[in-house]
Structure 1
Amino acid sequence: MTASDSILLDGIATRSVTTPRLRANILERTGDDPATPADRTIVFVHGNVSSALFWQETMQGLPADVRPIAVDLRGFGDSEALPIDATRGVRDFSDDLASVLTALDLPAVHLVGWSMGGGVIMQYALDHPVLSLTLQAPVSPYGFGGTRRDGSRLTADDAGCGGGGANPDFVQRLRDGDTSAEAQTSPRSVFRSGYVSADYSSPLEDIWVASMLTTSTAEGNYPGDGTASDNWPGFAAGNHGVLNTMTPKHFDVSGIVDLDTKPPVLWVHGSVDAIVSDASFFDLNHLGALGVIPGWPGEEAAPAQQMVSQTRDVLGAYAAAGGDVIEESWEGVGHAPHLERPEEFRAALLRRIGYGA
């Protein structure tokens, strides 16, 4: 399924951009001026198992003199499904993003990243000039799973992290294009239980599910490989594919603290986020502590990752080193604040980029 097969909201158009790295798909608003200054240009980067389609409502509601662009990462949406070298962390994604912005003649813009996309734009900021960073429910600066609060790794092989942790039935349902809600592992059910709070509902849910189903499950894409491990729960991180890009041995963007030029940061997250939290239901160590996965070796060996606390620590150090950080923590909101509180999200974003100041 591609974006062209899905419903684009009023005023949203899709376009292909060919770069030396890949053929990428972007969403734009019809009628927006390509000559819009960089300080009024906002580029949106989606998270894992999603695509640029998720940004449509946000884009629609922005002022007419702001230019929003949403980019499909490789292997998602209508962008090319090229293999992902996870030993580079998320650099395949961030380098792709850089190539797209170069093709669009956009040297520095405001970046918004959701979940994995937050990690992508933090990596981008380590390598390229950025006007501002808006991090929505971002992956921890130390990756997903397998670290103590200070970012130190629990095991040398990142046991319990990466591609081996994906639910095979969920992967198969992505591959089959399952739009039902009959099983807990269907994309629609995962959206309802993981992406948003229990209070959220939308007539656009079919679009969000269609977006999830654009995820490529080809070799080298989602979820990625794993290796056997002598450590609980018996597997460790691999070197290819989406989930391995965020494993601690490959991913660490805490170096943003040391940037000479620190872009202003907005961090937006929800209090009932099931995916990125200090007690994530997608963290196998937390599930082990709950008894969902048997044989958990205990708190000392396999503590749950304190994802939100890690982000707060790193951004606190960023601010102490001279950075400008605003944190917005929204009560009762899940993993997608921009869907659950769209007007509030747009207002916070516009304040962060200095619109109207």
Structure 2
Amino acid sequence: MNTMEKNIVSRQLETARLRTHMLERAAAEAGTRRVLLIHGNVSSGEFFRELMAALPAEWHVVAPDLRGYGHTEALPIDASRGVRDWADDLLGVLDALDWQDADVLGWSLGGGVALQLTLDRPLRVRSLTLVAPVSPYGFGGTHGAAGIPNSPDFAGSGGGTVNAAFVAAVAAADRSDAPGSPRHVLKTFYVNPARFTPTAEQEERWLESMLLTRTGDDFYPGDAVPSPHWPHVAPGTRGVANAFSAQSMNVSAFADLHSPPPVLWVRGDADAIIGDSSLFDLAHLGALGAVPGWPGAAACPPQPMLAQTRAVLERATQQGGQVREVVLPGVGHSPFIEAPEAFLAAFTAHVEGRR
């Protein structure tokens, strides 16, 4: 453990909304930057530990666990609000810390939360970094750069599209390496295994973080309703996957903000989770023949996640926004873990205004 890792502390923060657990690394000297790191689905702030240790010493950095994850108080997730429960919780964190603003990073699901936070309180976000972010139109069930629903009930997104065996394994704290287990998913999809292998210590620490995910209708993955449209399941109104479903989440209005904060978009070109050919998108899996009954590309095309994000960010530049896209070759879903030096260089330059 290096010196900066020793300075990372775990603590509970009482906010106006809920008791939030977070990792915190105070600035080593009078700091000029306050940095908020927002994790993704089936994870926690623990995934940011190495990044926190590597960031400039004068930055004050926090990595909260979102509700439903890690050691934060387990309050239900109202998916009818999209990702606003999480965004509001994080605004409560900023208030409790007495931070008037922050440089905000969101990874995967956290990218959508970061965009919602920015939409709701743009003056509190100095800069925005999106790391392998979920599409502004949610996950699954849409087509085209403008996020057009594949069906009127948003079938193909939401809690019913999540692999039930994986959820059961999380709930059972399965530590095996069986195909589809949390450990297997971590090593196969959270990173590109052809490029990166976690150490034994990292693997156990990150696995433990995943297994802290609350499961059920109010948490992960959420409820679902039957649909006449393929794949015959549509989003419900509770829990994680419904909160970031096409029915509930739409943060594309970020593009309409006047003078939005500068954006850094970092992704790996080997990301199997977020991409235009996501192995977690049922429409793409249907096209591959892995899910039966796919009605074809005319009725249910795979979601062009990257094209959707790019279209929104390009529109933001027309409002005076600055956007930089960094694509890291051979990197999967976790650029800050898989390519730490390249990621750190891009992130620190962005936050410090060296764009």
| Alignment TM-score, normalising by the size of structure 2 | 0.94
2:135, 2:238 → 1: CA distance? 20
Over the matched positions of the two proteins, sequence identity in percent amounts to: 48
1:179 alignment partner in structure 2 = 175
Determine whether 1:209 maps to 2:224.
no
Residue of structure 2 in register with 1:137 after alignment: 132
User: Which whole-Å CA distance do the structure 1 matches of 2:169 and 2:20 have between them?
Assistant: 25
User: Shift of residue 309 of structure 1?
Assistant: 1.0
In 2, distance between residues paired with 1:172 and 1:10? 35
Deviates more, 1:94-103 or 1:9-18: 9-18
Q: Secondary structure at the match of 2:327?
A: strand
Report the secondary structure of 1:43's partner residue. strand
Pick closer, same or farther for the CA change 1:261–1:320 going to 2, 3 Å: closer
- In structure 2, runs of 5+ residues without a counterpart are none
Question: What RMSD over aligned residues (CA atoms) do the two structures have, in Å?
Answer: 1.5
In structure 2, C-alpha distance between the alignment counterparts of 1:296 and 1:138, rounded to whole Å: 26
Distance 2:304 2:348 in 1: 29
Aligned equivalents of 1:31, 1:155: Cα separation in 2: 49
**1:143-197 superposed Cα distances (whole Å, 9 cap, x missing partner):** 101111221111111112110111111111111111221x222101011121100
Q: Distance in 2 between matches of 1:17 and 1:136?
A: 25
Alpha-carbon separation, structure 2, partners of 1:326 and 1:126 = 19
Does the CA-based 8 Å contact 2:26-2:61 persist in structure 1? no
Residues 1:219 and 1:146: Cα distance change in structure 2 (over 3 Å): closer
* Matching residue within 201, 224, 230 for 1:232: 230
Q: Which of 90, 98, 111 is the aligned partner of 1:97?
A: 90
Shift of residue 18, structure 1, vs aligned partner: 0.9
| Residue 105 of structure 1, CA deviation | 0.3
**Partner letter of residue 126 of structure 2?**
L
1:166 lines up with 2:162 in the alignment: yes
For 2:14, the equivalent position in structure 1 comes to 18
Tell me what 2:152 maps to: 156
| Runs ≥4 residues deviating over 6 A | none
- Judged with a 3 Å threshold, the aligned counterparts in structure 2 of structure 1 residues 255 and 31 are, in CA distance, closer, same or farther, namely closer
Which residue identity is paired with 1:142? Y
The residue aligned with 1:51 is: 44
Query: Does the residue aligned with 2:149 lie in a helix, a strand or coil?
Result: coil
1:67 aligns with 2:50: no
| Equivalent-residue separation in structure 2 for 1:91 and 1:10 (angstroms) | 33
Q: Which runs of 5+ in 1 are unaligned?
A: 1-7
Aligned-partner SS, 2:41: coil
Q: In structure 2, how many angstroms separate the alpha carbons of the residues matched to 1:265 and 1:16? A: 30
CA contact under 8 A between 2:34 and 2:101: conserved in structure 1?
A: no
Other structure's SS at 1:131 match: strand
Match of 1:4 in 2: none
Matches within 5 A, 1:79-98: 79-98=72-91
Matches within 5 A, 1:329-344: 329-344=327-342
What is the distance in 1 between the residues matched to 2:269 and 2:340?
16
Q: Aligned partners of 1:24 and 1:71: how far apart in 2?
A: 7
Query: 2:111 corresponds to which residue?
Result: 118
Question: What are the Cα deviations for residues 222-264 of structure 1, in whole angstroms up to 9, with x where unaligned?
Answer: 1100000111111111110000011112111110111123100
Out of 335-344 and 202-211, give the one that drifted further.
Answer: 202-211
